[in-house]
Amino acid sequence: MSRIQYPSNIRIVRVPCSGRVNPFFIIKSLLRGWDGVVVSGCHPGDCHYVSGNLVARRRFAILQDLLNLFGIEPDRVTFMWSSASEGDRFANLIKKVTKNIKRLGPNKKFESTW
């Protein structure tokens, strides 16, 4: 968005709605060795698909608890809201997430399963 620069260590997977993101996608990413996962959707109340992000928010709150139980640091999985017009917000959030994950270091929790 507007060519605002952000760290190059994220890879974007396109989904129709944050509501489409099955918890398995996040768990699979962590198993695969990605150091962190970000799910980004429309702001609550502004969902392009009416209420998908609200469904997602509830689901991720539960998932976050579950990941904690497995001993995965909460900062590895981030849920954030940014609209299509908020390029700078998106960039800033990615910068923040990258910083948090760098502090945690590589995700080696599931190394043995690779």
Name the site residues for another protein (rule: CB under 8 A): 1, 3-17, 19-25, 28-29, 32, 34, 45-52, 55-56, 59, 83-86, 91
- Nearest distance from residue 45's CB to another protein, in Å? 6
**Closer to another protein by Cβ: residue 11 or 103:** 11
**Closer to another protein by Cβ: residue 22 or 68:** 22
- Nearest distance from residue 51's CB to another protein, in Å? 5
- Nearest distance from residue 52's CB to another protein, in Å? 4
Closest CA to 104 of 37, 57, 40, 39: 37
**Closer to another protein by Cβ: residue 69 or 84:** 84
Q: How far apart are the first and last CA of the chain?
A: 35
For the chain, give the number of residues. 114
**Closer to another protein by Cβ: residue 68 or 83:** 83
- Nearest distance from residue 104's CB to another protein, in Å? 20
